[in-house]
Amino acid sequence: MSYALITGASKGIGKAIATELAGRKLNLLLVARTESLLSELATDLCKRFNIKVDYLAIDLSSVNAPSQIVAWIKDKGYVVNILVNNAGYGLSGTFEGYSANEHRDMMQVNMTVPVVLTSLMIPELKKQPKSYILNIASAAAYQAVPGLTVYAASKAFLLSFSRGLQYELRKTNISVTVVSPGGTDTDFANRAKVGTKAVKAGEKLNMTPESVAKLAVNAMFAGKTEIITGFINKLGALLVWLLPKKLTETTAASIYNQD
């Protein structure tokens, strides 16, 4: 009996991915910070879809979090053939507006955890007939975003890591997919403390977590290396590639009130 392991599974896109996979009758291992939300989701998915669900409440900004997750999986005797690195968050505002520790914690969750957890899980994933790694990046990965400077850079890292890893593993049983959502109706803006101007700019273009999750899971099972969700986000990535960097960065800065 195999399981899909999902980080950041208690809400937003992670919760939607868990629900999408549950609808396909896949057993789940849910990881996030808030135990009450994990417990509620696990109970709901078990009842609705008649699958096996377990969860681990853990702070992913902890340096030892990935090894603790893998130890938990081994102690429980779970077999994992899908790894979803979804957990991540942003910090909106000036770089100097946050402490070094706050930047470090975000980089730990957005970059270090996916890399270390993937490294620890690959030997197990290789034991299965077919395995998948799904990394959730961001449309912000395609350019520098003043006002979300470290967040955008961290997602650019995850995007590049995923592309390289997919090539390295192309002759194995493991498929790697990276999905870059644009604006999505999640708690991201609140946690990142995004300003009103940026929130309003994205409201009309926001996708639902459920639609993003469906696209992500379909891409993963189709063996696609990389997708950007939504036509406008795809167009935006193309324009960023075509237009002068100074212009795109100035435009992004104006949205996030970085004069």
CB 225 within 8 A of CB 177: yes
Q: Which residues contact 201 (CB under 8 A, 6 or more apart)?
A: 255
d(CA 58, CA 207): 28
151 part of the active site: yes
Residues pairing with 79 in the sheet: 2
Active-site annotation holder among 55, 142, 151, 256? 151
Q: Is the dihedral of CA 218, 26, 165, 162 positive or negative?
A: positive
Active-site annotation holder among 132, 155, 197, 245? 155
Please give the full DSSP string across 190-215, using - where no structure is assigned.
HHHT--HHHHHHHHTTPBPHHHHHHH
Amino acid at 15: K
d(CA 98, CA 108): 15
155 part of the active site: yes
CB 92 within 8 A of CB 202: no
Phi and psi angles of residue 87, each rounded to the nearest 5 degrees, phi first? -55, 135
Q: Which residues contact 77 (CB under 8 A, 6 or more apart)?
A: none
Place of tokens 């009309």: 204
Q: Is the dihedral of CA 244, 246, 251, 255 positive or negative?
A: positive
d(CA 59, CA 56): 10
CB 156 within 8 A of CB 145: no
User: Which residue numbers are catalytic?
Assistant: 151, 155
